[in-house]
């Protein structure tokens, strides 16, 4: 899983996504992932713990559209109105 932070149009954007090793396709041409789905869920919060997320736009892949992830982001980001979350 990787994390990248940029500023676009004056807004801080934090992007998180899973990661696959290049050149590690199996016989069915599937990529070998560095972390299983079960491992990637808690890694997101550990990576975000290293950043100030208040006021940031956070993007992540569909795996992270879970209540626990939303609760974590709302609590850390001090979001007053979470209607735009997920």
Q: Per residue of the chain (86 residues), give pLDDT as tens.
A: 667 788 988 888 888 877 655 555 667 766 555 556 677 778 888 888 988 888 888 888 888 888 888 888 888 876 655 555 55
- DSSP 8-class letter at 2: E
Please give the model's pTM, rounded to 2 decimal places. 0.65
- Kindly report the length of the chain: 86
Angstrom distance (rounded) from CA 53 to CA 39? 22
């Amino acid at each position: 899983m990787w994390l990248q932070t940029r500023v676009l149009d004056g807004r801080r954007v934090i992007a998180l996504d899973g990661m696959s090793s290049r050149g590690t396709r199996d016989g069915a041409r599937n990529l070998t992932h560095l972390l299983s789905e079960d491992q990637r869920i808690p890694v997101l919060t550990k990576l975000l713990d290293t950043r100030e997320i208040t006021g940031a736009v956070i993007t992540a892949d569909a795996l992270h559209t879970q209540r626990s992830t939303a609760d974590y982001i709302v609590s850390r980001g001090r979001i007053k109105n979470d209607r735009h979350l997920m």
